[in-house]
Amino acid sequence: MVLDARDMIQPAAAASEKNIQEVLAQGAAGVSLRSVTKKYGSFTAVENLLLDIPAGSYCCLLGPSGCGKTTTLRMIAGHESITSGDIYIGDRRVNALPPAKRNTAMMFQNYALFPHKTVWQNVEFGLRMRRVPTAERRVRVGEILELVGLSQTSDRKPDQLSGGQQQRIALARALVTRPQVLMLDEPLSALDENLRVRMRSELRNIQKQFGLTFIQVTHHVEEAFSLSDQIVVMDHGHIDQVATPSDLFAKPASKFVAKFIGDNNIFAGTVLNAVPDSDGLDMIELAVAGLGSIFSRGQATSVGQTAACSVRPDLLTIVSTAADAPSPQANHLTARVVDVELTGYVTRVGLLTEATGQELLYKVRTADWADAGISEGQAVTLRWSAHDCVFLAD
Amino acid sequence: MSKTWTVFKPYLLAAPQAIALAVFLVFPIVLIGVVSFWEFNGYSMTPAFTLDNYIGIFTSQVTLKTYLNTFKFVGLVWLATLLIAYPVAFFLSFHIKKLKWQVLLFLICTIPFWTSNIIRMISWVPLLGKAGLVNQLLMGVGLINQPLEFLLYSDFAVVLGMVHLYIIFMIAPIFNSLMRIDRTLITAAEDMGASGFDVFKEIILPLSAPGIAIGSIFVVTLVMGEFVTVRLMGGGQAASIGKLIQTQIGSLQYPLAAANAIILLTVTLVVVFSILRVVNIRKEL
């Protein structure tokens, strides 16, 4: 059996719950990485990380595998030493402290529940290791199990629980020691798609409810977008961008981010001209080989530099070439529809530019695509505004 | 037709194994059980139902002492193999990081077992004998004046030989169960404040208990019936029930040997079932 996410946030009418909720919320601490570097021999896993995670926020470290996100998490938790730099939790420097002394807790991929211990013993473990007296242990384990709605399973072994219940036990086990920061290492990757979406909102609810600091590692873009207050995009041991989900979506800061967070269309070229726009940004004209000028906005680099610009696939408009008419949108090019993929509400349309053969993607509401009456193989004109096109310096 | 076939197919498939077990295991044991109640007068045995053989065993001081001696061997060998095998298996699975090296080193552990038991036992003789290498060395460096007598043809030698013979049966299952322990469990325990000793006591030891149980069953059952090592390494000085049974068979006292065999089998089964009661080994299989 799996409880609905709503069951979790219903107050269980216990006075103690308020109590523990307050205790957890008060304890939340921010995390700060100052020039943190980790080297394995000659291999640099992460280099010169600068990052501030505010107390009480949900932060996702996002990136492809091998980008250093798990190493970063493990360094904050204390399971990995740092080569240089400082890590602060709250205002404590924790560089040399062992994991248990950092007031953090970690939730592991596949949860790492102890298979030979009952649910109760699993949750109790952290308190026992900290030599908390028996009577207090009983109270605290009881209240946290009630909080996650699994009091009735306390005598069972983890393998007798469903995936969702296991996640909640893992969460209870992590929260019972009242950590200042909770770290989550790809906690949802073991679940199937449906459960993943439900557990995602459950995690988010718990984080909001307690005002805890959550730091989660994920390679799943959608997961990061749906959970985070702050997303840290990492690549090759560096932080590429730190931003809120909406900022990240609207204004990717680098070619890598633009590619990684979605199917953005990217054009590379050289800066031809830059004019300050009304709002402090520059309107930049990029000369793209074979495609002519493409206009985008951002902080210009000097003329003649190589650079790129990116436009989201949902911000393009498509018109059949025959009905070509003047348009206020600055950018346009002709392309041929080569692939139409209906994925549900959204239809993904693959195109090749006529001039250079570059692959482009256009995403459109399925209903609108049907109205457009465009078929595969047809040549069309794509248009988009310079305001939707983000300039990416190299 | 097809319906009867569906009903009988599983039985037919199981039949060869069942027949083999019945003919080669159940039947001989039943036969031994039957013979153990036969009468025996020193020259011939006659089918009958008498408890004399069993009464004789339980009233004979010598036989009871031999039983105690056998249990002593079992206890000592079990303890020694466990104390040696656990650190070896632990080292292989936790301190050697690369799977390739783990497998290779484990194979090295098995190399002595590529030789026949008897040869391995006999090769102890020049080492441990009165004029053997160990005594020569100890006398050479002046630690002792007289050769140590207890090294060979003694209980010590028997236990040493059996530990040597059976240690791999302890190492392999423990190594296997240690290898199956999810390493993130250890990280998780450390994250919650467990010390190295806590991790061992709370996580590693309970999760390797099935391996210890399986290894213990192997060692206990093997040592219970031992007679070759007892004869070769014990000379005439050590006794075990296995050796007693062998002697009795040699002098054609089949009913007595059969009664001893039945008692030994019962004791062994009791030990095995006690181990199985304490530890759930099903997960390991």
Phi and psi angles of residue A102, each rounded to the nearest 5 degrees, phi first? -95, 0
Higher-confidence residue: B174 or A357?
Answer: B174
Is there a contact between B189 and A125 if contact means CB atoms under 8 Å apart? yes
Could you say which DSSP state residue B95 is in? I
CA distance A301 to A282: 10
For residue B184, give the nearest of A98, A112, A125 by CB distance.
A112
- A179 and A225: one domain? yes
Angle at B213 between CA B212 and CA B215, to 5 degrees: 65
- A91 and A19: one domain? yes
- A151 and A201: one domain? yes
| Residue of chain B whose Cα is closest to the Cα of A107 | B188
pLDDT over 70 for what percent of chain A?
91
Q: Does B181 touch chain A (CB under 8 A)?
A: no
Helices (H), chain B: 2-21, 27-35, 52-59, 61-90, 99-110, 117-122, 125-128, 133-140, 155-179, 183-191, 196-198, 205-224, 228-234, 241-250, 254-278
Residues A143-154 have a mean pLDDT of: 86
Is there a contact between A129 and B189 if contact means CB atoms under 8 Å apart? yes
Q: Does B17 touch chain A (CB under 8 A)?
A: no
What pLDDT band is residue A27 in, cutting at 50, 70 and 90? confident
Is there a contact between A98 and B190 if contact means CB atoms under 8 Å apart? yes
B216, amino acid identity: S
pLDDT at position B1: 58
Helix, coil or strand: residue B31: helix
pLDDT at B130 over 70: yes
Question: pLDDT digits over A28-53, tens only?
Answer: 888 888 888 998 888 888 888 889 99
Q: Which of A53-67, A365-379, B114-128 has the highest mean pLDDT?
A: A53-67
pLDDT at position A3: 43
Q: Does B190 touch chain A (CB under 8 A)?
A: yes
Homologous superfamily in CATH for domain B55-284: MetI-like (1.10.3720.10)
**Considering the entire predicted model, what is its pTM?**
0.78
- A389 and A319: one domain? yes
- A284 and A245: one domain? no
Is A264 in contact with A312 (CB distance < 8 Å)? yes
Buried b (16+ CB within 10 A) or exposed e, B99-120: eeebeeebeebeeeeeeeeeeb
- A109 and A229: one domain? yes
For residue B185, give the nearest of A100, A114, A130 by CB distance.
A114
Min Cα distance A130 → chain B (Å) is: 6
What pLDDT band is residue B154 in, cutting at 50, 70 and 90? confident
Domain that holds residue A184: 5-250
- What is chain A's mean pLDDT, rounded? 84
Task: Give residue A276's Cα distance to chain centre.
Answer: 33
CA distance B61 to B263: 16
pLDDT at A22 over 70: no
Domain boundaries, chain B: 55-284
For residue A99, give the nearest of B182, B184, B190 by CB distance.
B190
Element (H, E) at A132: none
What pLDDT band is residue B23 in, cutting at 50, 70 and 90? very high
- A245 and A360: one domain? no
Domain count, chain A: 2
pLDDT at position B268: 93
Helix, coil or strand: residue A142: helix
pLDDT over 70 for what percent of chain B?
99
pLDDT at position A229: 92
Q: Of B217, B253, B235, B225, give the one whose Cα is nearest residue B67.
A: B225
- A103 and A147: one domain? yes
Helix, coil or strand: residue B4: helix
- What is chain B's mean pLDDT, rounded? 89
CA distance A191 to A165: 12
Q: Of A169, A178, A246, give the one whose Cα is nearest residue A212.
A: A178
Residues A355-384 have a mean pLDDT of: 86
- A222 and A310: one domain? no
pLDDT at A235 over 80: yes
Helix, coil or strand: residue A114: coil
Chain position carrying tokens 């036990």: A169
Question: pLDDT digits over A64-105, tens only?
Answer: 888 889 999 999 998 888 999 999 988 888 888 888 888 889
- A163 and A48: one domain? yes
What pLDDT band is residue A118 in, cutting at 50, 70 and 90? very high
CA distance A162 to A168: 10
pLDDT at position A25: 66
pLDDT at position A11: 40
Residues A178-204 have a mean pLDDT of: 85
Is A174 in contact with A182 (CB distance < 8 Å)? yes
Which CATH number covers residue A37? 3.40.50.300
Q: Which residues of B touch A177 (CB under 8 A)?
A: 192-193
| Residue of chain B whose Cα is closest to the Cα of A102 | B191
What pLDDT band is residue B29 in, cutting at 50, 70 and 90? very high
Task: Give residue B123's Cα distance to chain centre.
Answer: 21
Could you say which DSSP state residue A41 is in? T
Ranges A261-265, A334-338, A363-367, B268-272: which has the least confidence: A261-265
Residue A258, domain member (yes or no) = no
pLDDT at position B264: 93
Question: pLDDT digits over A311-320, tens only?
Answer: 998 888 888 7
Within 8 A by CB and 6+ apart from B151, the residues are B128, B129, B132, B134, B135, B157
- A26 and A49: one domain? yes
pLDDT at position B41: 78
Is there a contact between B206 and A110 if contact means CB atoms under 8 Å apart? no
pLDDT at position B114: 85
Is there a contact between B191 and A115 if contact means CB atoms under 8 Å apart? no
What pLDDT band is residue B285 in, cutting at 50, 70 and 90? low
Question: pLDDT digits over A324-362, tens only?
Answer: 555 656 788 888 899 898 888 999 999 988 888 888 999
| Residue of chain B whose Cα is closest to the Cα of A105 | B191
| Residue of chain A whose Cα is closest to the Cα of B208 | A116
Task: Give residue B72's Cα distance to chain centre.
Answer: 13
CA distance A123 to A106: 13
pLDDT over 90 for what percent of chain A?
21
- A178 and A227: one domain? yes
Is there a contact between A177 and B192 if contact means CB atoms under 8 Å apart? yes
Is there a contact between A129 and B191 if contact means CB atoms under 8 Å apart? no
Question: pLDDT digits over B193-222, tens only?
Answer: 888 999 999 999 999 999 999 999 999 999
pLDDT at position B206: 93
pLDDT at position A212: 86
Residue A255, domain member (yes or no) = no
pLDDT at A15 over 50: no
Helix, coil or strand: residue A277: coil
